[in-house]
Amino acid sequence: MSNGNRVVFVILFSGVLMMTMVPAYTRAAEQVFPDTRTTAGEIQGALFAEVQQDDDRQTEDDDQRMQPWKVAMISAVLPGYGQVYNGAIWKVPILYGLLGYFGYRAIDYNDSYKEFRDKYTEDPEGPDAPHFQDERDRYQEKRNQQILFLALAYLAGIVDAYVDAHLYDFDTITEEGVSSVHTPETFYPSVSVNLKF
C-alpha cells in the first residue's frame, strides 16, 4: 500500500466512523432526560430531615438513563458512542485521532516490515542480509508497539464511557455545595467549600 493510498484509506475510514457518530449524537441530543441531578437542598433534606422514599421517581429515572455497562458495551462496538451519550462530545475527535494515528503507524510499520522481510528472505546469505534482518526486526517491534497503543486507546475510550455514565450525576452535587445545614426546628450556620475546575 503506497503512502497516498494509506492517507486516502485513513481519511475515508475516519469519515465513515464520524458519519456513524452523527445519528448517535442526534438521538442522544433529541432524547429527553429528566432532571436527575441532586440539589443542595435535597442533600440537606436527606441528611437532616425524615427520609422520604419515592420509589416511583427512582424507577422512572432508571428506565430513561442507560446503565453504565450498556454504554460501555455499545462504546466497544462503536467507539465514541459513550462520549456522545454522556455529553462529552469534545472527547470524540481526540479518541478518533488517537485511533487513526496509531492505526496508520501500525500499517506503515507493517509495510516496512514486509519489505525488509521479503528482502531478507530473497537472499539470507547476502552481504546486506544482517542489515535487512535488523531492519525487519526493528519494524516488527515498532508495529507491535503501535498495535498495543491502538488497543490501549480503544480500551481507554470504553473505560471513559463507563466512568462518565456511572458518574453522570456527580458534577451537579459538587458544583452546588452546601451553604448551610438545617433541620426543620433549628438553623446552624456552617462553612462550605465549592470547588470548580
pLDDT range class, residue 118, cuts 50, 70, 90: very high
Q: How many domains does the chain have?
A: 1
- CB 83 within 8 Å of CB 164: yes
- Number of Cβ atoms within 10 Å of the Cβ of 76: 16
Residue 197 lies in a domain: no
Range with top average pLDDT, 5-14, 19-28, 29-38: 5-14
Residue 17 lies in a domain: yes
Residue 196 lies in a domain: no
70-98 pLDDT, tens digit each? 999 999 999 999 999 998 999 999 999 99
Q: Is the pLDDT of residue 107 over 80?
A: yes
Residue 194 lies in a domain: no
Q: Of 95, 91, 86, 94, whose CA–CA distance to 163 is shortest?
A: 86
127-164 pLDDT, tens digit each? 999 999 999 999 999 999 999 999 999 999 999 999 99
Judged on CB neighbours under 10 Å (0-12, 13-18, 19+), 81 is: buried
Q: Is the pLDDT of residue 34 over 50?
A: no
Residue 172 lies in a domain: yes
- pLDDT of 65: 75
- pLDDT of 29: 46
- CB 182 within 8 Å of CB 46: no
Residue 170 lies in a domain: yes
In terms of pLDDT, which residue wins out, 77 or 16? Answer: 77
Which range marks the domain in which residue 132 is found?
Answer: 3-189
Q: How are beta strands 187-189 and 180-182 bridged, if at all? A: antiparallel
This model's pTM is above 0.75: no
Residue 195 lies in a domain: no
Q: Is the pLDDT of residue 48 over 90?
A: no
Q: Is 169 helix (H, G, I), strand (E, B) or coil?
A: coil
Residue 120 lies in a domain: yes
Q: Is the pLDDT of residue 179 over 80?
A: no
In the chain, beta strands by DSSP E: 180-182, 187-189
